[in-house]
A and B are shown apart, each in its own frame.
Chain A
Amino acid sequence: EAGVTQFPSHSVIEKGQTVTLRCDPISGHDNLYWYRRVMGKEIKFLLHFVKESKQDESGMPNNRFLAERTGGTYSTLKVQPAELEDSGVYFCASSISGSGNTIYFGEGSWLTVV
């Protein structure tokens, strides 16, 4: 069974450009999460989808970040325009609804804004 897959694995863009990160959750997982870790700090929650609906987007830093989950399957996270402080690792994770169910993480998309 495939795990959570993320694309691209690495991206280097210039300040002001746009980047779109994609996440494919484990098949059948209705919960999809985005997290990020910047500059060696804590891994921070960004938002949570249940199927195609945003359940919690309290962690989104500002309106330069836009997340979508088309048809409740894969998700995209767009940063537009990118700023230097957006550099870091963006993790996607998924789980099946239910108390205590494991949240599985992808390998992350490493974003560098120069």
Chain B
Amino acid sequence: AQSVTQLGSHVSVSEGALVLLRCNYSSSVPPYLFWYVQYPNQGLQLLLKYTSAATLVKGINGFEAEFKKSETSFHLTKPSAHMSDAAEYFCAVSEGTGRRALTFGSGTRLQVQP
């Protein structure tokens, strides 16, 4: 069985500040990990994914995430927040082979203050 926990349903940062969104996972097999973003009134867009290659993954819009097996974490970071980053962010895990469906976390809504 697999699960995802996102700490903090709401995160607020100032424009230009560091963004850190936390994600911890549980999986019985080596996981594939994903971060998706949902902007207001839009669908889910893939930010980045980890598929057992490099542990530091770079995504779109300046976001990156680091896979840490010992901590079962896949936290999302961005050095400097922009107003346009305001959205809801979802961490997800899949088992890759076998059941490929994603299991999502509950989401973190990011607010960026001017």
B63 at the interface (CB under 8 A from A): no
A75 at the interface (CB under 8 A from B): no
One of A14-22, A66-74, A80-88, A97-105 contacting the partner:
A97-105
Chain A residues with CB under 8 Å of B97's CB are 99
The distance in angstroms between the C-alpha atoms of A102 and B51, with both chains bound, is 10
Q: Mark A23-63, 1 if CB is under 8 A from B, else 0.
A: 00000000101010000011111001000000010010000
Contact A33 B101 (CB under 8 A): yes
The distance in angstroms between the C-alpha atoms of A35 and B103, with both chains bound, is 10
- Answer whether A43 and B104 are a contact pair too, CB < 8 Å, given A102-B49, A108-B43: yes
Contact B106 A100 (CB under 8 A): no
Q: Using a Cβ–Cβ cut-off of 8 Å, how many residues does chain A contribute to the interface with B?
A: 24
Contact B46 A104 (CB under 8 A): yes
Which DSSP category, helix, strand, loop or mixed, fits chain B's interface? loop
Chain A residues with CB under 8 Å of B45's CB are 105
B44 at the interface (CB under 8 A from A): yes
Contact A42 B104 (CB under 8 A): yes
Chain B residues with CB under 8 Å of A105's CB are 36, 43-45
Chain B min CB distance to A40 (Å): 8
**What are 16 A-B contacts defined by CB distance under 8 Å?**
A4-B43, A31-B100, A33-B102, A41-B106, A42-B104, A42-B106, A45-B103, A48-B100, A95-B100, A100-B32, A100-B52, A103-B34, A105-B43, A105-B45, A106-B43, A107-B43
The residues of B with any CB-CB pair to A shorter than 8 Å are 32, 34, 36, 42-46, 49, 51-52, 90, 94, 96-97, 99-107
Which 8 A-B pairs give the minimum distances between C-beta atoms? A100-B51, A107-B43, A105-B44, A43-B104, A45-B101, A99-B96, A42-B106, A105-B43
The residues of A with any CB-CB pair to B shorter than 8 Å are 4, 31, 33, 35, 41-45, 48, 56, 59, 91, 93, 95, 99-100, 102-108
